[in-house]
Amino acid sequence: MTLLTELSDTLASTVTKASPSIVRVEARRGIPATGIVWSADGIIVTSHHIVQHDEAIKIGLDGGETVSAELVGRDPSTDLAVLRTDAKDLTVPSWAKTDGLSVGHIVLALGRPGKTVQATFGVVSALGDSWVTPSGGRLDRFLQTDVVMYPGFSGGPLMDVSGSIAGLNTSGVLRGISMAVPHGTVKATVETLLKHGRVKRGYLGVGTQPVRLAEALAKQAGQETGLMVVSVQPDSAAEKAGLLQGDVIIAIGGEKMRHVDDLLTYLSGAAVDQKVDAEIVRGGKLRKIAVIIGERG
């Protein structure tokens, strides 16, 4: 009983400690969501998918006060958004690197969809290396938990038992899975949005699926699979370059394209406006075409 009592007291203390740094975000119809104080001068970080309108955003603070906020910027690919309020002297929480987490560690998910902080806890159920989201954003760690994401918990913190935030909880990255955007990704994205108001992402304008290359082509290309173009968006970089439905992309800018994730990884902000060679298979033959990578709107 002593161990259970100590654990219970620790979890309750963690919630109390974190409460001043957790805010309510009213930026959509229905149930409000949650945000985390990023800086004492009124910067709030939350989930992109819960900010459904850019105007008349309200932030509910720990003391019960409600203040107005404006959207600084958003990154749909990592499901992050940054808001700015006129509030001052806010309580900034401590953040922790995910290096200290392991599968099985107890974590807390906190939310403030109402006036008070709510909590649920579980364990880290999966932890992996960096990965690319279905929207093309790169997260520095794959961090999955078994915590129940109650309505309004998106945008709130995932906390370790020491009271530090390991990530920002979201239900908007993978449907039906409780995920957290790790601190490293949150930090990089917030800093970019504060500086530029947006995160640049490369855009090609194709739908693709992996296909196996014929044995002779595989030997010639030095890889067994490529990406078959199944659709080309009008007026896209792909259409302007002359890519056609049925082409098989095997490399772009010297980078092998074996899986869809390879293409998503390549289309980073650094690729925007770059003129590169795309190596493709068309009519059973290898050929190169020049492509100027666009920017995702």
Listed residue (210, 288, 212) closest to 251, CA to CA = 288
Catalytic residue among 21, 47, 48, 49: 49
Tokens, residue 139 = 């997260």
The active-site residue, picked from 47, 77, 154, 178, is 154
Concatenating the DSSP letter of every residue in 139-184 gives: ESSEEEE-----TT-TTSEEEETTS-EEEEEESSSSTTS-EEEEHH
Say which residues have a Cβ less than 8 Å from residue 130's Cβ, sequence separation at least 6. Answer: 138, 139, 140, 141, 142
Residue 104 neighbours by CB under 8 Å, 6+ apart? 123, 124
Q: Is 62 a catalytic site residue?
A: no
- Looking at residue 174, its amino acid is L
Q: Is 259 a catalytic residue?
A: no
**Rounded distance, CA 193 to CA 246, Å?**
37
Q: For residues 286 and 264, is the Cβ–Cβ distance under 8 A?
A: no
Q: What angle do CA 58, 64, 69 make, to 5 degrees?
A: 20
How do strand 138-139 and strand 80-85 relate by DSSP bridges? Answer: unpaired
**Active-site entry in 62, 75, 79, 160:** 79
* Dist CA 109 CA 21 (whole Å): 13
Whether 235 sits among the annotated catalytic residues: the reply is no
Residues with a known catalytic role: 49, 79, 154
